[in-house]
Structure 1
Amino acid sequence: MIRNRNYVSTDSHRKELQDQGFRLFDLLANEGDIHQYFADCIPSHWHLELEVFILLQGSVLIQIGDNSYYVEAGEGCFINTGVLHSFTAIVPSPCIYHSFVFDSGIVGGTPGSVFDTMYVRPLLNAGPDFLKFGREAEDKSFFQQFEIAFNACAEEKPGYEFEVREAISKILLYTKEKHQTMPSRRVPTIQESRLKQMLEWIDENLRNVMTVKEIADTANICTRECQRIFSRYLHYSPMAYIQRRRLFKAAEQLSTTDAPITDIAFDCGFSSPSYFTKQFKDLVGATPKEYRTAIQENRL
Structure 2
Amino acid sequence: MPIQIYDLNLDKKNRELEVRGTPLFPCGAYFSDIISNVTGDIPWHWHDEFEVIVIKKGPIKISVSGTDYLLQTGEGLFINSNVLHSVYVFNDQPCLLNSLVFHKELICDTNENIFKQRYIQPLANCNALPSIPLYPHIKWQRIAIDCILTAYEAYESEKFGYELFIRNQLSHLFYLLVKHHQEALQQPQIENQEIKRLKKMLNFIHENYSKGVEVGQIAASANISIRECQRCFQKHVQMSPMQYLLKYRISVSAGLLLQTDATITEICNKVGFDSPSYYTKIFKRFMNTSPTAYRKKTIVR
Is residue 129–residue 185 contact of structure 1 (8 Å, CA) maintained in 2? no
Residue 38 of structure 1 aligns to a residue whose secondary structure is coil
Query: CA shift at 1:159, angstroms?
Result: 3.2
Within 5 Å, give how 1:232-251 maps onto structure 2: 232-251=235-254
Residue 13 of structure 1 aligns to a residue whose secondary structure is coil
Give the Cα–Cα distance (whole angstroms) in 1 for the partners of residues 21 and 107 of structure 2. Answer: 19
RMSD of Structure 2 on Structure 1 (CA):
2.2
Ranges in structure 1 where 5+ consecutive residues have no aligned partner: none
Residue 99 of structure 2 aligns to a residue whose secondary structure is strand
Query: CA shift at 1:185, angstroms?
Result: 8.4
Partner of 1:125: 125
Check 1:21–1:178 CA distance in 2 against 1; reply closer, same or farther (3 A cut): closer
Residue 216 of structure 1 aligns to a residue whose secondary structure is helix
Within 5 Å, give how 1:96-245 maps onto structure 2: 96-126=96-126, 128-136=129-137, 137-180=139-182, 184=187, 187-245=190-248
Q: State the TM-score, normalized to the length of structure 2.
A: 0.89
- State which drifts further: 197-206 or 174-183: 174-183
Question: What code does the residue aligned with 1:231 have?
Answer: Q
Percentage identity across paired residues of the two chains = 32
Query: CA shift at 1:251, angstroms?
Result: 2.5
Task: Give the total of aligned pairs.
Answer: 296
Ranges in structure 2 where 5+ consecutive residues have no aligned partner: none
Residue 57 of structure 2 aligns to a residue whose secondary structure is coil
Partner of 1:51: 51
Within 5 Å, give how 1:60-99 maps onto structure 2: 60-99=60-99
Is residue 58–residue 95 contact of structure 1 (8 Å, CA) maintained in 2? yes
Query: CA shift at 1:147, angstroms?
Result: 2.0
Give the Cα–Cα distance (whole angstroms) in 2 for the partners of residues 102 and 20 of structure 1. Answer: 7
Query: CA shift at 1:261, angstroms?
Result: 4.4
Query: CA shift at 1:19, angstroms?
Result: 4.2
Residue 225 of structure 1 aligns to a residue whose secondary structure is helix
Give the Cα–Cα distance (whole angstroms) in 2 for the partners of residues 270 and 21 of structure 1. Answer: 38
Is residue 151–residue 165 contact of structure 2 (8 Å, CA) maintained in 1? yes
Residue 215 of structure 1 aligns to a residue whose secondary structure is helix
Partner of 2:29: 29
Give the Cα–Cα distance (whole angstroms) in 1 for the partners of residues 221 and 183 of structure 2. Answer: 40
Partner of 1:39: 39
Query: CA shift at 1:109, angstroms?
Result: 0.9
Query: CA shift at 1:63, angstroms?
Result: 1.1
Check 1:153–1:20 CA distance in 2 against 1; reply closer, same or farther (3 A cut): closer
Check 1:281–1:185 CA distance in 2 against 1; reply closer, same or farther (3 A cut): farther
